[in-house]
């Protein structure tokens, strides 16, 4: 019971940052979604030790563990559009594959460079 109470409080804290991001987006009229602003605010707060990782860690783990559930409504909604199963679907699938491979490649290169830099600093 204590675990779920902790997760609930941490989830509320994460949602406070989400709400702050929505307010920031509304005030600035930026073409960036409020949720992204919220993530940036949370990242900055964690980086500058305004909040501790332990204050959001368990809720973050739970959200990551249940991430697949958040995509089910979108997948079910696609069924309503049969055009997406034809040539458009193939194009979309190709874009998804190419973008996924691109992200994986860039992530690998960046991780490799960071590892090399840390190895050089340690030497």
**Domain edges within the chain:** 1-65, 79-123
Q: If 0-12 CB within 10 Å is exposed, 13-18 middle and 19+ buried, where does residue 9 land? A: middle
Q: What is the pLDDT of residues 43-90, one digit of tens each?
A: 999 999 999 999 999 999 998 888 877 777 766 777 777 766 677 778
Q: What is the mean pLDDT of residues 17-31?
A: 95
Q: Which of 70, 39, 35, 69 is nearest to 56 (CA)?
A: 39
Predicted pLDDT of residue 3 = 87
Handedness of CA 37, 43, 48, 52 (dihedral sign): positive
The per-residue pLDDT for 29 is 93
Gyration radius of the chain over CA positions:
19
The Cα 64–Cα 71 span in angstroms is: 12
Question: Using CA atoms, how far apart are residues 34 and 121, in angstroms rounded to an integer?
Answer: 38
């Amino acid at each position: 019971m204590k675990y779920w109470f902790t997760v609930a409080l941490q989830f509320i804290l994460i949602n406070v940052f989400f709400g702050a991001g929505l307010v920031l987006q509304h005030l600035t009229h930026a073409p960036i979604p409020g949720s992204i602003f919220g993530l940036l605010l949370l990242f900055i707060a964690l980086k500058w030790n305004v909040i501790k990782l332990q204050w959001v860690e368990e809720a973050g783990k739970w959200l990551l563990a249940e991430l697949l559930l958040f995509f089910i409504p979108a997948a079910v909604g696609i069924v309503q559009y049969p055009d997406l199963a034809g040539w458009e679907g193939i194009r979309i699938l190709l874009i998804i594959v190419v973008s996924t491979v691109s992200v994986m490649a860039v992530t690998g290169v960046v991780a490799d460079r960071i590892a090399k830099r840390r190895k050089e600093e340690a030497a």
